[in-house]
Amino acid sequence: MAIFRITESSIERVTETTFAQEKVLERHDLQRLLKADISVLATDLMVVEEEYREWEDSSRRIDLLCLDKEAHLVVVELKRTEDGGHMELQAIRYAAMVSSMTFEQLVDAHAHFLGGEDAHQKAQSAILRFLDFESTTDAKLSDEVKIVLVSANFSVELTTAVLWLNKRGLDISCIRLKPYRLDGQVLMDIQQLIPLPEAVEYETKIRTQQQESRLAESSRHEMFRRFWKQLIERTHGKTALFAGRTGSKDQWIGVSIGRTGFNLNVVLRRDDSRVECYIDMGEDSDERNLTALKHLEHQKERIESAFGGQLDWQELQDSRACRICKEIQGGWGSPEGEWPELQDRLIDAAVRLEKALKIPIQALQLP
């Protein structure tokens, strides 16, 4: 990227320079000027404290601790280097350190920043006014901390790391301060590189969706753990089929039945469930799996009689595996009060399927 000056006769390239060449220092110059007017980075920021370091056993300091209109703490880290160094790692540590900050601690920090008489009252009023809170009763900080990295430029390693971290739920911006010299003056081009300004709304929406998806997945994993724990407890005194199993975060649990490659699985879906003998003898076993299914299907009448009902004999399309299964009405979408009845039906079907298939599977003669 370059800046050009238009004259009557030409387009002239403005000379690039560096902060080092211009003797512009990080703390004495850049930090001082941004503290005085943080709006050049973002219009919705308020500087709370400079050189914040209110934590034990650490001499490290946040260059500028800020607040945005949505009550997020914002860690602003400055470098005048051409690659940003390892500032993203440093900023993440700082963000973690302030993530538990309370509103009262925030007021104390801003009071220290303001100084002078009645600093605490002035700080509290300024923050409440900025956040549009009527009183401290309404005041609560977001539990998410944002990070703004400010540098003359950023290395590929740093920007790659930031993009990766943002995809995983962090909120990190990279703003480039590029100095130029023109007619004896130092100019500065300020550009947000990550995320691109035109993509901020989209990336925020995607990040929110990802966070909601992770929360939903975590909640579902916990629900599966609870369901399987209850089911296994209900097998006590009925069968040793699931002895040794402690549960699972997945929507299925399984045990071996008869021989390697033949598993007895209980599968939980939203509206229905399934007990199955899943046949998969490993890599390149497509033909052997199908042969095993066919051999067992030749004994279909005897196996279904031993099971006590009809079974589905399935050659799974686009899969090397096959299965013999029984569908059960009711799934994880059922009210939790109905789980015990569903679990008993699944246990009963699993016990009967294992009894019907174990000996025929052990007797199989496969190539």
- Residue in 248, 269, 262, 243 with CA at minimum distance from that of residue 346: 269
In a domain, 326, yes or no: yes
List the CATH number of the domain containing 349. Answer: 3.30.1460
0.95 cut: is pTM over it? no
Q: Are residues 350 and 267 in the same domain?
A: yes
Q: Which residues contact 117 (CB under 8 A, 6 or more apart)?
A: none
Q: Are residues 163 and 301 in the same domain?
A: no
Which pLDDT score, from 0 to 100, does residue 308 have?
96
Q: Are residues 178 and 258 in the same domain?
A: no
Which pLDDT score, from 0 to 100, does residue 199 have?
53
In a domain, 203, yes or no: no
In a domain, 159, yes or no: yes
Amino acid letter for position 197: P
Q: Are residues 245 and 96 in the same domain?
A: no
Amino acid letter for position 282: G
Domains contained in the chain, number? 2
Report the first-to-last Cα separation within the chain, whole angstroms: 67
3-state SS, residue 333: coil
List the CATH number of the domain containing 87. Answer: 3.40.1350.10
Which pLDDT score, from 0 to 100, does residue 161 have?
92
Which pLDDT score, from 0 to 100, does residue 201 have?
62
Q: Are residues 246 and 155 in the same domain?
A: no
In a domain, 136, yes or no: no
Number of neighbours of residue 23 by Cβ within 10 angstroms: 9
In a domain, 223, yes or no: yes
Contacts 24+ apart (CB under 8 A), 94-98: 94/60, 94/62, 95/145, 95/146, 95/147, 96/145, 97/55, 97/58, 98/52, 98/62, 98/65, 98/73, 98/145
Q: Are residues 169 and 240 in the same domain?
A: no
Longest dimension (CA), the chain: 97
Dist CA 310 CA 324 (whole Å)? 10
Q: Are residues 326 and 190 in the same domain?
A: no
277-294 in b/e burial notation, b at 16+ Cβ within 10 A?
Answer: bbbbbeeebeebbbbbbe
**Range(s) of the domain holding residue 266:** 217-362
Which pLDDT score, from 0 to 100, does residue 324 have?
97
Q: Are residues 147 and 253 in the same domain?
A: no
Which two three-digit tokens encode residue 259? 């021989």
Q: Are residues 324 and 180 in the same domain?
A: no
Average pLDDT per block of 10 residues along the chain, 367 residues long: 86 90 89 92 92 74 93 93 86 93 93 91 92 81 93 91 88 92 91 74 64 69 92 91 85 89 94 95 92 94 96 92 95 92 96 95 88
